[in-house]
Amino acid sequence: MATNENLPPNVIKQLAKELKNLDETPPEGINVSINDDDFSTIFADIEGPAGTPYENGIFRMKLLLSHDFPHSPPKGYFLTKIFHPNIATNGEICVNTLKKDWNPSLGLRHVLLVVRCLLIEPFPESALNEQAGKMLLENYEEYSRHARLYTGIHALKPKPKPKVGMICESTTALNVENTKISPKSPLNADHTNTVCGTALPVLPSPLAPPAAPSKVGVSTTTTGQDQQQPGSAETTALPAVVIAAAQKTIGGGGGGGGPAKVLTDKKKIDARKKSLKRL
């Protein structure tokens, strides 16, 4: 741990303990910067309290500790320009805690909290900035407008706070979407065959073996009005080659007359029978 020649060892030890506590559990709206090489200068960033003209601004200040600290109070200065009755144009802070009301038992935490409270409730009766003090007493709206103008121009802007759980929620939503659209999941088989509630025809796989040919005269459709009855034209239809073979057989295998020739021969036989009866 570095030491400072202007401060006694026991004070340095006490300051080190207090600064560590401020770093681990900082006061609301106050962020202390620790410099291990010089405990005689303490820097702090103070957030402008809500509902005041200093809202949405961060103001940097410093406390200077003298060689007889804590018997004498530290001196406070704002490094950020601010329009305030109790803060001079050079940044010096006027507050009773750092003057006549100082007590060696008061710590740095108490001093920083008093300075922040000064932004909430100024004391125009003991003003270092006479213009700000007079304006505060006579026309608060005008004073507030000036203070907001200074805040917007000179104060540091607070960093946006990240939303807790945002990444987890986005990851969860992404996982849900992937589950819904995954075409390989067996749980989604019913969803892949429908579009807006309408069933889609199941197409055969190009790797599936071809279906066996159906028998001649047997219908492959067995439901609805498309079911074929036995003896219908569609089921009894025979190839042209089979029909030609049957006609050839009826015609006696050689004649070209077919059924007409058979009828002619029968008539001749009947005529001969009649001739024999007459004899």
pLDDT tens digits, one per residue of 54-77: 999 999 999 999 888 999 999 999
Q: Is the pLDDT of residue 255 over 80?
A: no
Q: Is the pLDDT of residue 216 over 90?
A: no
Q: What's 125's DSSP letter? A: G
Question: Which of 58, 82, 4, 79 is closest to 36 using CA atoms?
Answer: 4
Relative orientation angle of helices 108-120 and 9-24, to the nearest 10 degrees: 50
Which range, of 13-17, 70-74, 130-134, 205-209, averages the lowest pLDDT? 205-209
Cα angle 14, 19, 24; round to 5 = 130
94 a catalytic residue: yes
Do residues 54 and 147 lie in contact, with contact meaning Cβ atoms separated by under 8 Å? Answer: yes
Q: Is the pLDDT of residue 226 over 50?
A: no
Tell me how far CA of residue 103 lies from CA of 51, 71, 96, 100, 111, in angstroms: 31, 8, 11, 9, 11
Q: What pLDDT, on a 0 to 100 scale, did the predictor assign at position 259? A: 58
The pLDDT mean for the chain works out to 75
Do residues 96 and 112 lie in contact, with contact meaning Cβ atoms separated by under 8 Å? Answer: no
Residues in the chain: 279
Q: Is the pLDDT of residue 21 over 80?
A: yes
Question: Which of 99, 147, 145, 156 is closest to 120 using CA atoms?
Answer: 147
Distance of CA 81 to the CA centre of its chain: 40
- pTM of the predicted model, to two decimals? 0.57
Architecture in CATH of 9-154: Roll (3.10)
Average pLDDT of the residues in 212-225 = 46
Q: What pLDDT, on a 0 to 100 scale, did the predictor assign at position 2? A: 45
pLDDT tens digits, one per residue of 269-278: 777 666 666 6
Average pLDDT of the residues in 41-52 = 95
pLDDT tens digits, one per residue of 133-165: 999 999 999 999 999 999 999 999 988 766 555
Q: Distance between CA atoms of 259 and 61, rounded to whole angstroms?
A: 127
Q: How confident is the model at residue 232 (pLDDT cuts 50, 70, 90)?
A: very low
Q: Distance between CA atoms of 141 and 148, rounded to whole angstroms?
A: 11
CB atoms near residue 240 (< 10 Å): 7
Q: What pLDDT, on a 0 to 100 scale, did the predictor assign at position 248? A: 53
Q: Distance between CA atoms of 245 and 172, rounded to whole angstroms?
A: 76
Q: Is the pLDDT of residue 245 over 90?
A: no
- Where along the chain do its domains lie? 9-154, 246-279
Q: Distance between CA atoms of 32 and 61, rounded to whole angstroms?
A: 10
Q: Distance between CA atoms of 208 and 13, rounded to whole angstroms?
A: 85
% of the chain beyond a pLDDT of 90: 43
Alpha helices (H) along the chain: 9-24, 108-120, 130-138, 140-154, 166-181, 189-192, 233-236, 240-250, 259-278
Q: Is the pLDDT of residue 170 over 60?
A: no
Q: How confident is the model at residue 29 (pLDDT cuts 50, 70, 90)?
A: very high
Q: Distance between CA atoms of 36 and 3, rounded to whole angstroms?
A: 8
159 sits in which H/E element: none
Question: Which of 205, 81, 204 is closest to 146 using CA atoms?
Answer: 81
Q: Is the pLDDT of residue 168 over 80?
A: no
Q: Distance between CA atoms of 140 and 204, rounded to whole angstroms?
A: 83
Helix (H, G, I), strand (E, B) or coil at 247: helix
| Structure token pair of residue 63 | 């406390």
